């Protein structure tokens, strides 16, 4: 596993001493990047929460409408195709 060495201006380098080095593995760099992107996504979703909630609630209904009504109506699927989209559990 490779490591990256970054130089950060520590107290010794600010005082004129040798710079301090800090070693980070690729996993920790990737983890930090993932957390930064996740934080950004959470902030954006929080701003548009109502639109996000409507999309989450309406998207399954639109899928059922398109695959259950529209596609069989125009001949791209058989009439019983809606049963595959919304299976009902039978005892």
* 23-38 residue pLDDT tens: 678 999 999 999 999 9
- Mean pLDDT (whole number) for 5-34: 72
Average pLDDT of the chain is 78
Residue 8: how many CB atoms within 10 A of its CB? 9
Q: Is 41 helix (H, G, I), strand (E, B) or coil?
A: helix
pLDDT value at 41 more than 70: yes
Largest interatomic CA distance in the chain: 79
pTM: predicted TM-score of the whole model, two decimal places? 0.45
6 backbone dihedrals φ, ψ, rounded to 5°: -115, 145
* pLDDT reported for residue 73: 82
* pLDDT reported for residue 91: 47
């Amino acid at each position: 596993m490779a490591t990256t060495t970054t130089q950060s201006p520590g107290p010794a380098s600010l005082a004129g001493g040798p710079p301090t080095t800090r070693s980070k593995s690729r996993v920790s760099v990737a983890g930090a990047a993932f957390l930064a992107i996740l934080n950004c996504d959470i902030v954006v979703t929080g701003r548009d929460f109502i639109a996000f909630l409507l999309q989450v609630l309406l998207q399954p209904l639109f899928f059922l409408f398109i695959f259950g009504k529209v596609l069989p109506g125009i001949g791209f699927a058989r009439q019983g195709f809606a049963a595959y989209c919304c299976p009902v559990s039978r005892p």
